Amino acid sequence: MMAAKKEVDIVFSNTPTMYTDAVNVATRSDNIVLLRFYSYLPEKAFENFRTTMTKDDAKVLLEDLAQMLDHYPVKKTAKKSASSKKAALPVSK
């Protein structure tokens, strides 16, 4: 979990800013989340960056993204198969 917020000096790495085409997310049984960011070029895919964080910190990241993008997705429900749909009754005239 993130420590209490305090003033800190940020040291920036030399990691270049790159465009990301895909993100791969994996979770572990100890509530650690692995995020891997990829760029695709015609000749190959490049892993730009990889990081781990706690599941709680990943949820904070999602909340921040949702707020910045003004997009709040809802949990998807399971779709019914075509065979489980009820047929519409014919309309009598």
**CA–CA separation, 93 and 71 (whole Å):** 46
Q: Which band of pLDDT confidence, cut at 50, 70 and 90, is reported for residue 76? A: confident
- Dihedral of CA 8/14/19/23: which sign? negative
Give the start-to-end residue ranges of the domains of the chain: 22-73
Decide if pLDDT at 91 tops 60. Answer: no
**Residue range 65-90: mean pLDDT, rounded:** 74
Q: State the Cα–Cα distance between residues 59 and 71, nearest whole angstrom.
A: 15
pLDDT tens-place string over residues 20-74:
999 999 999 999 999 999 999 999 999 999 999 999 999 999 999 999 999 998 8
pTM score above 0.85: no
- Report CA 1 to chain centroid distance, whole Å: 18
